[in-house]
Homo-oligomer: A and B are copies of this chain.
Amino acid sequence: MEEKPRFTGNGVLRLPPGFRFHPTDEELVLQYLKRKVYSSPLPSSIIPEVDLSKYNPWDLPACGGCGCEEVKYFFGLREARNPNRSRRNQAAGSGFWKATGKEKPVTASRCHQVVGMKKVSVFHRGKPPTKTEWIMHEYRLAGPHATTTSDATHGTMAARWDWVVCRVFKKKRTKIEIGEDHMQESSCVTELSDGSGDGEEASSGSMSSTP
Task: Point out residues on A near B: beta carbons under 8 Å.
Answer: 1-5, 13, 15-24, 27-28, 30-32, 34-35, 38, 40-46, 101-105, 108, 110-111, 113-115, 117, 142-144, 175, 177-180, 182-186, 188-189, 192, 195, 197, 200-203, 205, 207-211
Known contacts A40-B195, A43-B195, A103-B180: A18-B23 contact under CB 8 Å: yes
Query: What are the residues of chain B within 8 A of A1 when measuring CB–CB?
Result: 41-42, 211
The one of B38, B180, B209 that contacts A5, using a Cβ cutoff of 8 Å: B209
Q: Closest approach, in angstroms, between the C-beta of A190 and any C-beta of chain B?
A: 8
CB atoms of B23 and A21 under 8 A apart: no
Q: Closest approach, in angstroms, between the C-beta of A171 and any C-beta of chain B?
A: 16
CB atoms of B17 and A211 under 8 A apart: no
Q: Closest approach, in angstroms, between the C-beta of A198 and any C-beta of chain B?
A: 11
The one of B22, B38, B179, B207 that contacts A16, using a Cβ cutoff of 8 Å: B207
Query: What are the residues of chain B within 8 A of A143 when measuring CB–CB?
Result: 183, 185
Most buried by B among A19, A27, A38, A42: A19
Q: Closest approach, in angstroms, between the C-beta of A84 and any C-beta of chain B?
A: 11
CB atoms of A44 and B20 under 8 A apart: no
CB atoms of B2 and A18 under 8 A apart: no
11 A-B residue pairings within 8 Å (CB atoms): A1-B211, A15-B19, A16-B44, A18-B28, A19-B205, A19-B207, A24-B203, A30-B201, A110-B189, A110-B201, A114-B180
Q: How far is the CA of A184 from the CA of B197 in the complex (A)?
A: 46
Q: How far is the CA of A182 from the CA of B32 in the complex (A)?
A: 23
Q: How far is the CA of A4 from the CA of B208 in the complex (A)?
A: 8
CB atoms of B3 and A18 under 8 A apart: no
